[in-house]
């Protein structure tokens, strides 16, 4: 029986916690995943958010939605921003991935904008002296966040801030959670014309996923370990 519980908020059926959830379980957490939008084509129809009482960690995953188009998700997005802000103020650790990292930034007083450069694929990041792996990490985002003034920027590249920490809240712009199956699932919903717009093919993306899968598992686990050991802390 574990003493600690983590709640993973997933926005679409193909955006689960994957390797992040796997490592949390390996580290002794009881992990529950809550799907916010069961119907991919009806983004404004959401399942009510669960009660966070009894959870020791909140994980907020990515999404195909955008904080620059809140009208598409306005039945639930403001509630999620409030939930993140309240959870942070209560001192519960939060780990946000891509859209989840953007939510953390905006909830704490930062902002989100359409990125001048869309990043899709594996990219190195500059971590300075921070104990975060340089990657390459999987990127798939059209937006980027500007962190609030009190945030510590732990990693970035030439296109975007990639990792921030605000007290006990951590947000990434990259996707540490991915494995081959998850990327394959994303591609099942991506149209060829969309990929071609960015000079990509699904074969190329899947080949790269095979190449990086094992190394990414190790670096994701190391990132989650850092979050647990340095941000969450002991029981």
pLDDT tens-digit series, residues 29-57: 999 999 999 999 999 999 999 999 999 99
Tens digits of residue pLDDT in 114-159: 999 999 999 999 999 888 999 999 999 999 999 999 999 999 999 9
- Mean pLDDT, range 191-217, rounded to an integer: 97
The pLDDT score that the predictor gives to residue 3 is 83
pLDDT at residue 1, rounded to an integer:
46
CA 72/CA 94 separation, integer angstroms: 25
Cα–Cα distance, 24 to 29 (Å, whole number): 5
Distance of alpha carbon 102 from its chain centroid, rounded? 8
> Is 90 exceeded by the pLDDT of residue 193?
yes
Domain 4-230 CATH class label: alpha beta
Q: What percent of the chain shows pLDDT beyond 70?
A: 99
Look-up of token digits 């953007």: 102
Domain positions in the chain are: 4-230
Q: Are 108 and 85 in contact (CB under 8 A)?
A: yes
Distance, in Å, from the CA atom of 13 to the CA atom of 213, rounded to the nearest integer, reads: 21
pLDDT at position 2: 57
Q: What is the pTM of this model?
A: 0.96
- Helix ranges, the chain (H): 18-26, 77-89, 99-107, 180-188, 192-197, 202-226
Structure tokens at 65: 């939605």
Residue 235 has pLDDT above 80, yes or no: no
Contacts of residue 181, defined as CB under 8 A and 6 or more positions apart, other chains included, come to: none
- Average pLDDT, rounded, for the chain: 96
- Return the pLDDT at 131: 85
Q: What is the DSSP letter of 175?
A: B
């Amino acid at each position: 029986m574990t003493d600690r519980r983590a709640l993973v908020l997933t926005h679409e059926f193909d955006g689960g916690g994957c390797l992040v959830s796997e490592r949390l379980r390996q580290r002794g957490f009881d992990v529950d995943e809550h799907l916010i939008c069961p119907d991919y084509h009806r983004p404004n129809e959401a399942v009510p958010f669960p009660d966070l009482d009894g959870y020791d960690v909140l994980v907020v995953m990515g999404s195909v939605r955008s904080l620059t188009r809140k009208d598409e998700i306005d039945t639930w997005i403001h509630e999620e921003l409030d939930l993140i802000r309240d959870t942070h103020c209560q001192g519960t650790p939060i780990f946000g991935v891509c859209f989840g990292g953007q939510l953390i930034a905006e909830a704490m007083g930062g902002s989100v904008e359409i990125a001048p450069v869309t990043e899709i694929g594996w990219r190195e990041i500059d971590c300075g002296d921070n104990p975060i792996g340089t990657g390459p990490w999987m990127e798939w985002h059209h937006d980027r966040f500007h962190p609030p003034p009190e945030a510590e920027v732990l990693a970035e590249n030439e296109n975007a801030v990639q990792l921030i920490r605000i007290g006990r809240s951590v947000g990434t712009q990259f996707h540490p959670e991915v494995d081959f199956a998850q990327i394959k699932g994303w591609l099942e919903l991506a149209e060829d014309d969309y990929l071609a717009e960015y000079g990509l093919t699904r074969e190329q993306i899947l080949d790269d996923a095979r190449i990086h899968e094992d190394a990414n598992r190790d670096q994701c686990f190391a990132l989650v370990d850092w979050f647990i050991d340095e941000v969450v802390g002991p029981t």
